[in-house]
Amino acid sequence: MPSSPDPTARPLDALLRDELAAIDRAALRRTLRPMRRREGATLLVDDREVVDFASNDYLGLAADPRLAGALRDALDDVGVGAGAARLVTGDDPLHERLESAIAALKGTERALLFASGFAANVGVLPALAGRDDAIYSDALNHASIVDGCRLSRAAVRVFPHGDVDALDAMLRADAGGARFRRRWIVVEGVYSMDGDLFPLDRLVSLARAHGAYTVVDDAHASGVLGTGGRGTASHFGVDGAIDVTVGTLGKAFGTAGAFVAGSAALCDLLLHRARSFVFTTGSPPAVAAATLRALAIARDEPWRRDRLRDNARRLRAGLAALGRPAPGEADGHVVPVLLGDPTRTVDAGARLLADGFAVGAIRPPSVPPGSARLRLSVSAAHTPEQIDALLEALAAVPGVPNADPVPA
Ligand code: PMP
């Protein structure tokens, strides 16, 4: 055993500070900023109320007192922690009730809860795909999908974002069952940073033609798109044709956690194989009670989806009038304003915050280099006046109004 310290070794903190300095030089330094959610799409930031255009609270449920009430009632009944993994002693009847309600919403045989969307993706892909498989993954898929692909050890083929023809060509190039045991295509329903939709009708036909299986992360569409908020597959009329659907509960449903919806066999296998399900403490059961309330409200108050679409249309029309038409559907609820440069984007975000609006100032690695942007997310809780006020503020932000617009 060596007894004297290595004189050439630098203290770990010095090394880490060097890395942080490099992040600074690239204008990519980030900090946490505490803020508190209030009703009416507002946040309290440094004791100041600002309108929230940064959260994924699409249906305006996160601060709904009915969810808090359901949580409180359940807490009195079941306490806080699940105490153990669900496969040990952490499985509460509320978990099972929520899974049944999600399966009913999605029109699938079964659903299985995960602690988060991130945990779902890093659990599901390695549980299904292995060394002998290929995964075809959209270039703009979320970090958790990228990590899930890597953990699976499958051959990963990344195809250009939304490009069904390129995907077809890749599938053809790898044709035949001989080369890979199984082939999986993984996409998002609504892209989190671009707000556009993957054409799931085309995906389903392509997958069928090539004998591939489909995995759709519907984090940003569950509760929002399709009949009764069933999701992107319903929007494209291919309900029931997706093999594996992942959805989150921390966005439109306003609580926390995530689910996988699909066949009974799928969920049963995941319960054995998805390591982020097996080896983690069950989520607090009272949160499941709040989510059950959220699902019921999302079903019984369809006006929320109508208002969300109206609000999105209003914001997008206003941006188009500023020469900044946002890509995606005319009523898409995720609205990017591409500025390109990270410093300009952060400055724009800071200025809007000073004006009373929280918006996402998104830089790499959340988006590809050179595509820093403001990410505006619309909520059913916004009023038309709040949207008009944001547009007025955006019009005064240097670099946002575009006198010489290029098509989105
Ligand atoms: N998938 C996508 C497409 C997402 O946008 C996100 C969240 N940003 C996640 C998964 C992760 O979900 P969660 O926040 O529940 O971990």
Cis peptide before 368 (omega within 30 of 0): no
Q: Do residue 261 and residue 321 come from a single domain?
A: no
Please say if 56 is a catalytic residue.
yes
> Could you report the per-residue pLDDT of 199-210, keeping only the tens digit for each?
999 999 999 999
Tell which wins on pLDDT, 30 or 259: 259
Residue 248 lies in a domain: yes
pLDDT, tens digit (0-9, with 9 covering 90-100), for 32-47: 999 999 998 999 999 9
DSSP secondary structure code for residue 251 in this structure: S
Q: Decide if 20 is inside a domain.
A: no
For residue 247, the cross-strand partners are: 259
Instruction: Single out the catalytic residue among 64, 99, 194, 217.
Output: 217
User: 217 - beta bridge partners?
Assistant: 188, 246
Pair (313, 183) in one structural domain? no
Q: Which atom of ligand 1 is nearest to the CA of 119?
A: 16
What is the Å distance from ligand 1's center to 177 Cα?
A: 32
165 and 72: one domain? Answer: yes
Task: Tell me, yes or no, whether 38 lies in a domain.
Answer: yes
pLDDT band per the 50, 70, 90 thresholds, residue 405: low
Nearest atom within ligand 1 for CA of residue 249: 15
Question: Is the CB of 142 inside a 6 Å radius of any atom of ligand 1?
Answer: yes
Count the domains in the chain.
2
- Section 21-28 average pLDDT: 91
| pLDDT higher than 50, residue 399 | yes
Average pLDDT over the chain reads: 95
pTM for the predicted model, two decimal places? 0.95
In a domain, 186, yes or no: yes
Ligand 1 contact, 188 CB (< 6 A): yes
Q: Which of 188, 194, 218, 239 is catalytic?
A: 188
> Which of 299, 320, 337 is the C-terminal boundary of a domain?
299
Residue 282 sits in the same domain as residue 374: no
Q: In the β-sheet with 48-53, what is the strand arrangement from edge to edge?
A: 35-38, 42-45, 48-53, 357-362, 372-377, 334-340
CA 188 centroid distance within chain = 9
Q: Are residues 207 and 311 in the same domain?
A: no
User: What pLDDT, in 10s, does the model give residues 355-368?
Assistant: 999 999 999 888 99
Active site residue 192: yes
Q: Do 114 and 212 fall within a single domain? A: yes
Residue from 335, 352, 331, 332 nearest 398 by CA? 352
Dist CA 68 CA 293 (whole Å): 9
CATH number for 133: 3.40.640.10
Q: How far is the CA of 249 from the centre of ligand 1 (A)?
A: 9
Query: What CATH number should be reported for the domain holding residue 357?
Result: 3.90.1150.10
132 and 254 belong to one structural domain: yes
Query: Does the active-site annotation cover 371?
Result: no
Residue 408 pLDDT greater than 50, yes or no: no
Asked if residue 16 is part of any domain, the answer here is no
Q: Which residue lies with its CA nearest to atom 10 of ligand 1?
A: 117
- Residue 115: the pLDDT is 97
Nearest-atom index, ligand 1, CA of 257:
15
Q: What angle do CA 242, 246, 250 make, to 5 degrees?
A: 145
Give pLDDT tens digits for 244-302: 999 999 999 999 999 999 999 999 999 999 999 999 999 999 999 999 999 999 999 99
Examine residue 233 and state whether it is found in any structural domain, yes or no: yes
- In-domain check, residue 136: yes
Domain of 347 in residue numbering reads as 30-58+302-396
Q: Within this chain, do residues 254 and 385 fall inside the same structural domain, yes or no?
A: no
pLDDT by residue (tens digit) across 306-327? 999 999 999 999 999 999 999 8
CA of 398 to the centre of ligand 1 (A): 31
* Distance separating alpha carbons of residues 186 and 144, to the nearest angstrom: 12
The catalytically annotated residue of 116, 141, 192, 283 is: 192
For ligand 1, atom 8, which residue shows the shortest CA distance?
192
Residue 146 in domain: yes
> Are residues 266 and 179 part of one domain?
yes
Pocket perturbation via mutation, ligand 1, pick of 188, 248, 291, 377 by most ligand atoms within 8 A of CB: 248
Query: Which among 106, 142, 235, 382 is annotated as catalytic?
Result: 142
What is the predicted pLDDT for the residue at 175?
Answer: 81
Among 192, 249, 259, which residue has the most ligand 1 atoms within 8 Å of its CB, making it the best to mutate? 192
Residues 130 and 180 in one domain: yes
Is 141 annotated in the active site? no
**Ligand 1 contacts CB of residue 50 (under 6 A):** no
Atom of ligand 1 nearest to the CA of 118: 16
- How far is ligand 1, taken at its centre, from the CA of residue 120, in Å? 9
Residue 1's pLDDT is 66
Residue 404 pLDDT? 64
Is the pLDDT score of 24 beyond 80? yes
Query: Does 325 lie in the same domain as 222?
Result: no
109-165 residue pLDDT tens: 999 999 999 999 999 999 999 999 999 999 999 999 999 999 999 999 999 999 999
CA–CA separation, 244 and 224 (whole Å): 18
Residue 334 pLDDT greater than 50, yes or no: yes
Cβ-based neighbours of 99, under 8 Å, separated by 6 or more? 110, 111, 112, 113, 259
Of 271, 299, 327, the one marking the end of a domain is 299
Identify whether residues 269 and 343 lie together within a single domain: no
DSSP 227: G
Whole-number pLDDT of residue 217: 98
Is 251 an active-site residue? Answer: yes
pLDDT above 60: residue 177: no
